[in-house]
């Protein structure tokens, strides 16, 4: 098994957000708690994962807020995905 530190947010979703008869389970990479999600919620997390990998997560958060804010609890899960990614130009490396 790969170490979670080696996985991008997208890879994490692929492995730890499987579909079971149309419902999805998501393993939170920080707390290791499991959440049951709808397909729509997973789509949002996939978009968040892409944004994190492209270092535009803050812009993505602003877009979601503008579009009417997050479904309950989903922002927290998106933020846990961001822990799997080290920004290429983080303030610490600049």
Partner 1 sequence: MTGTAYRLLDVGAAQLAVASPIDRFHAHLDLVYPHHEPITTPRFADVRVGLLPGSRFRPRGRQVTLWADGQRPFEPYPHDCALPLFEWGSNYLLSQRLNAYLLLHAGVVARKDRALILPANPGAGKTTLTCALHLAGWRFLSDEFGVIDADTGELLPMVRPAPLKNRSIDVIGRRAGATLGPLFPKTRKGDVSHFVPDRDSFLARHRRACPALVVFPRFQAGAALQCVPMPRAEAAMRIGMNSFNYQALGPLGFEAVVALARRTVAYQLVYGELDDAIAHIEALFERLP
Residues at the site binding partner 1, with contacts judged by CB under 8 A:
1, 4, 15-16, 18, 20-21, 23-25, 27, 31-34, 36
**Residue 21 Cβ vs partner 1, minimum distance, rounded to whole Å:** 5
Identity of the residue, 16 or 70, whose beta carbon is nearer to partner 1 in the bound complex: 16
CB of 88 closer than 8 Å to CB of 55: yes
Identity of the residue, 36 or 54, whose beta carbon is nearer to partner 1 in the bound complex: 36
CB-based burial, 58-75: b 16+ in 10 Å, e otherwise: eebbeebeeeeebeeebb
């Amino acid at each position: 098994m790969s170490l979670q530190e080696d996985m991008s947010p997208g890879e994490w979703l692929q492995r730890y957000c499987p579909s079971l008869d149309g419902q999805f389970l998501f393993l939170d990479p920080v707390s290791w708690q499991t959440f049951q999600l709808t397909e729509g919620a997973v789509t949002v997390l996939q978009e968040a994962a892409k944004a994190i990998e492209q270092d535009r997560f803050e812009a993505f958060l602003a877009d979601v807020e503008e579009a009417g804010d997050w479904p309950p609890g989903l922002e927290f899960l998106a933020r846990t995905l961001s822990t799997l990614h080290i920004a290429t130009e983080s303030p610490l490396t600049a």
